[in-house]
Amino acid sequence: MIIENCKIIFPNVIEKGTILIENGLIKEINPKTYPSNNEIINGQGLYLSPGFIDIHIHGAGGFDVMDGEYDSLNNICKTIFPHGTTSFLATTMTCSIRDIRKAVDAAAYAIKKGTDGANILGIHLEGPFINAGMLGAQNPDFIQTPCIDTFKKIIGDNLNIIKTVTIAPELEGAKELIKYLNKLGIVSSIGHSKASYKEAIDGIASGISHSTHLYNAMTGLHHREPGIVGAIFDSDITTETIADGIHVDYPALRIAYKQKGLDKVILVTDAMMACCMADGKYSLGGQDVFVENGAARLQNGSLAGSTLTLDKAVKNVYKNSSYGLQEIIKMVTYNPAKLLKIDNKIGSIKEGLNADLVLFDEDINIKRVIINGKIML
């Protein structure tokens, strides 16, 4: 397959060119010659980007990761790929150990079997090792004290697919679990936490390398108590932002990007089952969620995930900042791939990497999606 005459988005520059795809991989960039029997996609006027990677998504299209079913996961995969997401971490909620285990088992099966859309890269455990004082939309009935044995009960034989764990480092037992995860190469992410600045920094010293949805469900920045936000700004850890204009105002996003530098920021959706659906009543982690004008909230008004898609997140940042498109695309491609240590496979347009690619126009409208070298849209 050939994609020609497109504007190729590299991590630091956009250049017009052509790429050759063979056997699911990017075979060559700007080949001098190529077989005439190749399928040719004319990318004139379009941008060619690496496929988007969402490391924090609970559901879409009326389905939830916590359904614990292959069909639900497969439908999520089919719902999100037209929006440019070619791979993602299936994200769980603070529910019973049995239900989380069921969701983890289902994801492991889906990864082995394969899906009809976006690829599942693994699991993001968002809880149950969180602080009851920073619930967000998590269910307080199922919070667990951080414990290595509890973690093992949750994951069963699926250690290899656990990629990130959101944890409150101020809780008893948290540092031991963080150090354990760190040795296994699993990303510990601070989130749903009431940690002070010092407690957050201590957690980072123990092995936390990432932070879950910056500003949301964490202690804020105050000039006499910098909190978790201050610790994130004052350290080298990476962070997620939900750029839907609901979770965080755009000026606060710009401040964060300027402080952290775009290499340390990843755009996520935190989407729940109402993503790509009409307003109405849904559920998240067993709790009722009411979606109005695209904003998802519990009955008490707490935000309950989002209805965001990654193409919209890119568009929102592009329209509400002065950053170049290649800088913003890096936040949904190379940066998440690097965090997960799979940037040698996906996340960039580079010879030898997987052909997970997206073509879109000047307004970030997705025109073509290619996953594993196969045209999906």
Which residues are part of a known binding site for substrate? Answer: 137, 216-217, 224, 247, 303-305
Q: Are 343 and 353 in contact (CB under 8 A)?
A: no
| Residue ranges of the binding site for Zn(2+) | 126, 192, 213
Distance of CA 56 to the CA centre of its chain: 4
Q: Are 288 and 276 in contact (CB under 8 A)?
A: no
Question: What Cα–Cα distance (Å) separates residue 100 from each residue in 185, 284, 349?
Answer: 21, 13, 35
- The whole-angstrom separation of Cα 357 and Cα 377 is 11
Give me the sign of the Cα torsion angle 248, 252, 254, 257.
negative
Q: Are 21 and 39 in contact (CB under 8 A)?
A: no
* Cα-Cα end-to-end distance for the chain: 14
| Residue ranges of the binding site | 126, 137, 192, 213, 216-217, 224, 247, 303-305
Alpha helices (runs of H) in 114-206, residue ranges in sequence order: 148-155, 174-184, 197-206
- Tokens standing for 335? 């940066």
CB neighbourhood size of 94 (10 A): 27
- Tokens standing for 196? 């002070």
CB neighbourhood size of 150 (10 A): 16
| Cβ neighbours of residue 37 closer than 8 Å, sequence gap 6 or more | none
Which residue, chain included where needed, has tokens 């944890």?
167
Which is nearest to 94 in space by CA: 123, 71, 62, 66? Answer: 66
Q: Are 272 and 93 in contact (CB under 8 A)?
A: no
Question: What Cα–Cα distance (Å) separates residue 261 from each residue in 133, 221, 335?
Answer: 30, 18, 12
Q: Are 129 and 144 in contact (CB under 8 A)?
A: yes
| DSSP one-letter code for 192 | S
Across-strand partners of 287?
A: 284
* Catalytic residue IDs: 270
